[in-house]
Amino acid sequence: MDTASGAGQLDLRPDDLPDGLVIANRLGLVTCFNAEAARVTGRRPAEALGRPIERALPLEDPDGRQWWRVTNPYRGLATRSGQPERNLLLPGGQEVLVAARYVRSRPGGPVHRLVVTLRGTDARRRTERSNAELIATVAHELRSPLTSVKGFTATMLDKWDRFTDEQKRLMLQTVDGDADRVTRLITELLDISRIDSGRLELRRQPVRLDEAVRRHVKTMINGGHRADRFDLRVDGPLPGLWADPDKIDQVLGNLLENAVRHGAGTVTIEMQRVPPSRTRQEGMAVTVSDEGPGIPEEAMHRVFTRFWRGSERGGTGLGLYIVKGIVEAHGGTVTVGRSTGGGARFRFILPAGTPAFLS
């Protein structure tokens, strides 16, 4: 025992630790899985003890790679003493902060104990989640439209007389589109920063969700989509909703835009009342489904994370993260699944009912 830190005299029990603690022996078999580790992962210690660490504690990095395979603690670099704290995903998509220490009997020797700490991210993720990664991605996202703006303006300034009006118009249209992209990205980033810091302000008022959906569909049809692409189904009388109309518009806008952009075929929008149950109050459910390729099973738990996009055709990958943030700020939930036609199916439920002073 390490007497330098006093642990030898402390009679410290793993279950007393506020952090999740998982220890594996030289063979990679789990010998300790404390109470907090069980709470964070939702697994019982009995299921984990004695099993290989990669099966007792499966972890994925945000790119979907198996964390234990990537870090390879037992056969990796012999000088490595551990892994710094990182944000990883448990099966099911729940985020967890993980740090590991590789205990070696002598420097450069084999790992004879692997000590892993786990922390739920709920509290910390709001303040400090992978800021460096965020900045890198944002810089990258901003650079490509700006590179195009710079390219076209420089070319035009340089060779102004050599272009026809039509060519100049075309270039300016591209510049205009790219400027819109930058503005949109910045607006999304501001939303994200508000969501992450818990500062998303809701200006609640009575909202007619069916009307909002109709309005969105109309806008999309005016924007050039065929009217028969949309199938709106309202099931029975809908309860009143006390919500922020602008934010709800953002949610609907993104889900519908995703359905026509990433999906295909008919976009079905269903709305219905969800009766109250023992665990939740009366709600209002909106389902948006399409007949496109859908979200691959293995990616379903990642669609709501920042910057995830399924294909090159994707936008910035922030839309669904914002959707989730807004729905949750309203006390609701959002889920993804597969539609009967095989496409994607997004469903969100918002608590219904208006405050007493209005009824």
Nearest residue (CB) to ligand ATP, 239 versus 292:
292
Q: Would you count residue 319 as binding Mg ion (CB under 5 A)?
A: yes
Contact code string over 170-199 relative to ligand ATP, x by CB under 6 A: ------------------x-----------
90-119 residues in contact with ligand ATP (CB under 6 A) are: none
284: left (phi over 0), alpha (psi -120 to 50) or beta: beta
Q: Would you count residue 258 as binding Mg ion (CB under 5 A)?
A: yes
Nearest residue (CB) to ligand ATP, 303 versus 327:
303
Nearest residue (CB) to Mg ion, 250 versus 258:
258
Q: Would you count residue 287 as binding Mg ion (CB under 5 A)?
A: no
Tell the smallest beta-carbon distance from residue 323 to Mg ion (Å).
8
Q: Would you count residue 311 as binding ligand ATP (CB under 6 A)?
A: yes
Name the β-bridge partners of 87: 97
Q: Would you count residue 319 as binding ligand ATP (CB under 6 A)?
A: yes
Nearest residue (CB) to Mg ion, 116 versus 260:
260
Q: What are the φ/ψ torsions at residue 242 (nearest 5 degrees)?
A: -115, 100
CA distances (Å), origin 318, targets 153, 163, 176, 284, 302: 28, 37, 22, 24, 12
Nearest residue (CB) to ligand ATP, 239 versus 294:
294
Residue 302 contact partner, candidates Mg ion, ligand ATP, none, CB within 5 to 8 A by sort of partner: none
The sign of the CA dihedral 200, 206, 209, 213 is negative
Name the β-bridge partners of 120: 96
Contact code string over 251-280 relative to ligand ATP, x by CB under 6 A: ---x---xx--xx-----------------
Nearest residue (CB) to ligand ATP, 20 versus 294:
294
- Residue closest to 302 by CA, chosen among 317, 283, 282: 317
Residue 309 contact partner, candidates ligand ATP, Mg ion, none, CB within 5 to 8 A by sort of partner: ligand ATP
- Which residue is listed with tokens 């019982």? 44
Q: Would you count residue 320 as binding ligand ATP (CB under 6 A)?
A: yes
- Residue closest to 314 by CA, chosen among 141, 157, 151, 122: 141
How much is the CA Rg of the chain, to the nearest whole Å? 25
Tell the smallest beta-carbon distance from residue 229 to ligand ATP (Å).
13
Residue 212 contact partner, candidates ligand ATP, Mg ion, none, CB within 5 to 8 A by sort of partner: none
Tell the smallest beta-carbon distance from residue 275 to Mg ion (Å).
31
Q: Would you count residue 327 as binding ligand ATP (CB under 6 A)?
A: no
Q: What are the φ/ψ torsions at residue 46 (nearest 5 degrees)?
A: -60, -30
Helix orientation angle between 319-329 and 165-196, rounded to the nearest 10 degrees: 40
d(C-alpha 123, C-alpha 127), whole Å: 8
- What residues contact 104, with CB distance under 8 A and at least 6 apart? 78, 81, 110, 111, 112
Nearest residue (CB) to Mg ion, 41 versus 254:
254
Q: Would you count residue 339 as binding ligand ATP (CB under 6 A)?
A: no
Q: 247 burial class (0-12, 13-18, 19+ CB within 10 angstroms)?
A: buried
Q: What are the φ/ψ torsions at residue 169 (nearest 5 degrees)?
A: -60, -45
Q: Which stretch binds Mg ion (CB under 5 A): 119-127, 165-173, 209-217, 257-265?
A: 257-265
Q: Would you count residue 245 as binding ligand ATP (CB under 6 A)?
A: no
d(C-alpha 244, C-alpha 261), whole Å: 25
Tell the smallest beta-carbon distance from residue 129 to ligand ATP (Å).
17
Residues that bind ligand ATP (CB under 6 A): 188, 254, 258-259, 262-263, 290, 292-295, 303, 308-311, 314-321, 344
Binding stretches for Mg ion (CB under 5 A): 254, 258, 319
